[in-house]
């Protein structure tokens, strides 16, 4: 006696395709970022420099301090045009405008005071 066919095997290819496609759906990025290193005129890294990022896509501004190696990093930024300002006591203030950030990119903007 044979079992009646209930069509359960038709579901297997559908589940397989769904599993193959789902990682690509969740892997899409929606933000941009910015990173770099702050150095003095001799090329030495500058720790504890204040790095401020402003732009029309932000409400207010974002500020970070450089680490011991002089590096900074901004993450989860909306795409748009930004201005970067770096201030360190004893140095002139550095400002760069027109930094265009695009979704999924992490450009490097190194600063020499």
The distance in angstroms from the start CA to the end CA of the chain is 86
- Half-sphere exposure at residue 23, Cβ-oriented, CA atoms within 13 angstroms: 3
**Residue-wise pLDDT tens digits, 5-58:** 566 666 667 777 776 766 655 656 789 999 999 999 999 999 999 999 999 989
Task: Sketch the domain layout of the chain as residue ranges.
Answer: 32-112
The answer to whether the Cα torsion of 23, 104, 60, 111 is positive or negative is: positive
For domain 32-112, the CATH class is: mainly beta
- Write down the pTM of the prediction: 0.75
Q: What is the pLDDT of residue 10?
A: 67
Running DSSP on this structure, what letter comes out for residue 69?
A: T
Give the whole-number percent of the chain exceeding pLDDT 70.
80
CB contact at 8 A, 33 and 75: yes
């Amino acid at each position: 006696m044979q079992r009646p066919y209930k069509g359960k095997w038709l579901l297997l290819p559908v589940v397989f395709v769904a599993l193959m496609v789902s990682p690509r759906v969740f892997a899409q990025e929606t933000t941009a970022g910015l990173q770099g290193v702050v150095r003095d005129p001799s090329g030495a890294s500058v720790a504890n420099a204040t790095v401020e990022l402003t732009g029309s896509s932000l409400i207010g501004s974002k500020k970070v301090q450089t680490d011991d190696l002089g590096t900074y990093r901004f993450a989860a930024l909306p795409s748009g045009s930004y201005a970067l300002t770096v201030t360190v006591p004893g140095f002139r203030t550095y400002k760069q405008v027109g930094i265009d950030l695009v979704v999924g990119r992490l450009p490097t903007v190194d600063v020499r005071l």
